Amino acid sequence: MSFFVVENMTVSFSGLKALNGVDLSIEKNQIFGLIGPNGAGKSTLLNCLSRIYTPQCGKVTLEGADVLAYPFHRIVELGICRTFQNLELFSNATVTENIILGCVWRYKCNLMSELLALSSATRKMNAARAEAEDILVELGLSPYADKRVSDLSYGIQKTVELARALAGRPRLLLLDEPAAGLNPEESIRLGGTIRHLRDKKNITVLLVEHDMPLVMSICDHIVVLDHGEKLCDGSPAVVRNDPRVVEAYLGTETADA
């Protein structure tokens, strides 16, 4: 059985089918791309997988575990962490504090304030800080550790969100348009980071993205969604050359490139 399996995922919003019987099968350590035009249902799928939405029907398993049986606040225990299409950070908190919030669940704290109270150098606090520091170093965020998130550039904020997701120690990392708003250089760096996480930390990645150079260069496998249905499912080469995909999404320019 595959590492992560989605079967017959169906979601409607007041009659509109955002997802209509979508199946996905992701192998361990894959970087799996999910692409498609705006409104195709990509974010809706990620919202179901991270348990923000409950689909009308469908089955999701992670190494056999029933993902839909977990409520949103416990999904991290299963090893599913995510970033959002629109940043979801605590913008008045520092970079380190945001990352600490990503690992707080593992310390079984009743009060987040216990972790964030900088004066109380508790054992948990020190452990959480040490974890956050490792992630800061790994993602090149150390210079920003004590900066307020709202004072940072958009590109750095996107990296902070990735850092917070990593603090949850994902087995499966869901990324919703992580390259949106990045310049080409930042996007190439992001590609290197995603590969590093897969190669060195064995994190399986489900990447929703419009940045085709990034998708085509790092994904092992790609699914194209269109109007809530799977249009194509294959290697980057297969997807790039599928006439239906070119027509619905890529356009002739990308196909020629």
Between 19 and 136, name the residue whose CB sits nearer to ligand ADP: 19
**Distance in Å, CB of 20 to ligand ADP, minimum:** 11
Tell me the C-alpha distance between 54 and 72, whole Å. Answer: 10
CB distance 222 to 239 below 8 Å: yes
Between 41 and 170, name the residue whose CB sits nearer to Mg ion: 41
Strands (E), the chain: 4-13, 16-26, 31-35, 57-62, 65-66, 80-82, 172-176, 204-208, 221-226, 229-234
CB distance 37 to 249 below 8 Å: yes
* Site membership for Mg ion, residue 43 (CB under 5 A): yes
Which two structure tokens, joined as six digits, stand for 245? Answer: 């995909």
Tell me the C-alpha distance between 43 and 175, whole Å. Answer: 10
**Distance in Å, CB of 53 to ligand ADP, minimum:** 7
66 φ/ψ angles, rounded to the nearest 5 degrees: -80, 100
**Distance in Å, CB of 224 to ligand ADP, minimum:** 11
Positions touching ligand ADP (CB under 6 A) are: 13, 16, 18, 36, 38-44
Between 34 and 160, name the residue whose CB sits nearer to Mg ion: 34
Between 2 and 85, name the residue whose CB sits nearer to Mg ion: 85
121 φ/ψ angles, rounded to the nearest 5 degrees: -80, 70
Q: Would you tell me how many other CB atoms lie within 10 Å of the CB of residue 251?
A: 11
Q: Would you tell me how many other CB atoms lie within 10 Å of the CB of residue 147?
A: 15
* Site membership for Mg ion, residue 44 (CB under 5 A): no
Between 43 and 157, name the residue whose CB sits nearer to ligand ADP: 43
**Distance in Å, CB of 238 to Mg ion, minimum:** 23
Between 16 and 69, name the residue whose CB sits nearer to ligand ADP: 16
39 binds, among Mg ion, ligand ADP, none (CB under 5 to 8 A by kind): ligand ADP
Using the rule CB under 5 A, give the single segment among 36-44, 51-59, 117-125, 161-169 that binds Mg ion. Answer: 36-44
Site size toward Mg ion (CB under 5 A) is 3
44 binds, among ligand ADP, Mg ion, none (CB under 5 to 8 A by kind): ligand ADP
**Distance in Å, CB of 229 to ligand ADP, minimum:** 12
Alpha-carbon dihedral sign for residues 235, 37, 43, 181: positive
Where on the chain is the footprint of Mg ion (CB under 5 A)? 42-43, 85
